[in-house]
Amino acid sequence: MSKQTVLTGITTTGTPHIGNYLGAIKPAIEASLNPAYNSYFFLADYHALIKCHEPERVARSTQEIAATWLALGLDTDVATFYRQSDIPEIPQLTWLLTCMTSKGLMNRAHAYKASVDANRDAGKEDLDDGVTMGLFSYPILMAADILMFNADIIPVGKDQIQHIEMARDIAGRFNHGFEPLFSLPQAQVDEATQLIPGLDGRKMSKSYDNTIPLFSSTDQLRKLINQIKTDTRAPGEPKDADSSTLFQLYSLFASEAENAAMRNRFAEGIGWGDAKTELFEFLNAQLEAPRQRYNDLMDDLGYVEAQLQKGAVKAREHSAPFIGNILAATGIRPLTYVPAIKTDETVKKEKSAEDIARAEQGRRRAIVMQLKREIERVEAADDKAAEAQAVLAEKALQVESLKKKARQKAENELDVLREELSRYLG
Ligand code: TRP
């Protein structure tokens, strides 16, 4: 079985809070450690422009979100971690998909409909007042994010399920009308992390202004926790743990044993003041080390930037050749392009994922044959790692010097060589 690809993006408009951490970042980092998955995590900065026209805020948020993932231990050698705007193939694909997507589908998107409803409720004559084309076609950009990497599993919040379904629709339309190049993505919603309560007990969300920033300073964290809403029960009165925001937040960070002990103290009537102190001390102890790393990273943004650049190189190893195939499927091709021999048109269109994988394997084997000499050279060398690097560098140089037509072929060869030789590179 080939690996499943997990992909998710975070829009760069805010400061990461505890809800983002528990609901998205922590499970994503954990999934990235599972060898059954390839992970792609990215900063959705083009998405930020849909709702935020404050350059400083977008730039700051991008720094904060990047530093947060690294501070929490994301291994950028295992996961592909990149910034959307570093991948020019994404906006290229967005346009192609825009031409394949019916306007009616976009009319039904929740985000757009919410704006129209708000205009109607406000009695505005122009129901599209304040709606940009970015907001209107936002699900197409999101589909491009996903389809560009043939992602299978998309961990998201409930509000995003519709967008994943639209991405499936759009992929299906392309696969059917042109070539079956795209996997059909599936949303993955974790019910347990859908309801992380904020300061006022409602879902923690930037739009409710009830968040606890993940890396608040110690003082800020204490102050925010003191603001958490409680009821009027006095110390000594038994309290229901499950309906308490303080307990819920505690339990999301605690072990089972710690949870059981805290539940007991609620039953025994812990005072709200003491419960707040306990929660503060517990969270502060857990967040101290990553907070320190986060602050260090925010002081060393050159390092963070280099990590993103590394991720962009990795991501483009896939997206650059793939966009060539996608363009070719639509008829946008080098003048000298020779299409692959088609046998039976209808059979081809209904190829299963397995058939596609097999064809891909065949294509790869053919390229490996052509690269026999280079691979043998590495195998025969004393220092295999050094030789592998030399071979890759030579091929990369060759790619650079070629014209477009020959270049695609050499790029494919470079990709295959990278894979074949990766085991020597440690
Ligand atoms: N729109 C998503 C959100 O607001 C962020 C996002 C952009 C995304 N592109 C994506 C999520 C692709 C998953 C996959 O939460």
* Nearest CA owner, ligand 1 atom 10: 9
Q: Which uninterrupted H or E stretch holds 38?
A: strand 37-44
Local structure of residue 85 (DSSP, 8 states): G
pLDDT for res 358: 77
- Hey, which residues does 41 pair with through a beta bridge? 8, 81
Lowest mean pLDDT among 129-138, 320-329, 343-352, 402-411: 343-352
pLDDT for res 349: 53
CA of 145 to the centre of ligand 1 (A): 8
Lowest mean pLDDT among 118-132, 219-233, 241-255, 407-421: 407-421
Question: Please, which pLDDT band fits residue 195 given cuts at 50, 70 and 90?
Answer: confident
* Nearest CA owner, ligand 1 atom 8: 9
Find which of 57-71, 343-357, 360-374 is predicted with most confidence, using mean pLDDT: 57-71
Q: pLDDT digits over 217-241, tens only?
A: 999 999 999 999 999 999 999 999 9
Q: Which residue has the higher pLDDT, 402 or 308?
A: 308
Answer whether 144 contacts ligand 1 (Cβ < 6 A): no
Q: Would you state the CATH architecture of domain 4-195+300-330?
A: 3-Layer(aba) Sandwich (3.40)
Question: Please, which pLDDT band fits residue 351 given cuts at 50, 70 and 90?
Answer: low
Of ligand 1's listed atoms, the one at least distance from the Cα of 145 is: 12
Task: Residue 369: count other Cβ atoms within 10 Å of its Cβ.
Answer: 9
Please give the Cα distance from 197 to 195 (Å, whole number): 6
* Nearest CA owner, ligand 1 atom 4: 11
- Rounded mean pLDDT, 46-58: 97
CA of 11 to the centre of ligand 1 (A): 7
- Rounded mean pLDDT, 344-370: 69
Lowest mean pLDDT among 54-58, 306-310, 404-408: 404-408
pLDDT for res 342: 64
Question: Please, which pLDDT band fits residue 120 given cuts at 50, 70 and 90?
Answer: very high
pLDDT for res 420: 81
pLDDT for res 348: 47
Q: Which residues are within 8 A (CB) of 396 and not within 5 positions of it... i.e. 6 or more apart?
A: 414
Q: Percent of the chain, pLDDT > 70? A: 96
Answer whether 420 contacts ligand 1 (Cβ < 6 A): no
pLDDT for res 417: 85
Question: What's the token pair of residue 208?
Answer: 């409710």
pLDDT for res 372: 85
Amino acid at the residue 151: A
Which of 6, 12, 47 is the best mutation target for the ligand 1 pocket, counting ligand atoms within 8 Å of the beta carbon and taking the most? 47
Q: pLDDT digits over 93-106, tens only?
A: 999 999 999 999 99
- Rounded mean pLDDT, 236-256: 95
- Rounded mean pLDDT, 335-353: 68
Which of 142, 154, 170, 188 is the best mutation target for the ligand 1 pocket, counting ligand atoms within 8 Å of the beta carbon and taking the most? 142
CA of 227 to the centre of ligand 1 (A): 31
Q: Which uninterrupted H or E stretch holds 43?
A: strand 37-44
- Rounded mean pLDDT, 199-207: 92
Question: What's the token pair of residue 223?
Answer: 């102050």
Q: pLDDT digits over 273-307, tens only?
A: 999 999 999 999 999 999 999 999 999 999 999 99
Q: Which residue has the higher pLDDT, 198 or 352?
A: 198
Answer whether 146 contacts ligand 1 (Cβ < 6 A): yes
- Rounded mean pLDDT, 67-79: 97
Answer whether 8 contacts ligand 1 (Cβ < 6 A): yes
Listing DSSP states for 145-191 in one string gives HHHTTT-SEEE--GGGHHHHHHHHHHHHHHHHHS----PPPEEE--G
* Exposed e or buried b per residue across 277-287, where buried means at least 16 C-beta atoms within 10 angstroms of its C-beta: ebbbebbbeeb
Domain ranges of the chain: 4-195+300-330, 215-298, 344-425
- Helix, strand, coil in percent for the chain, rounding step 5: 65, 5, 30
* CATH of the domain spanning 215-298, picked from 3.10.50.40, 1.10.240.10, 1.10.530.10, 3.40.50.300: 1.10.240.10
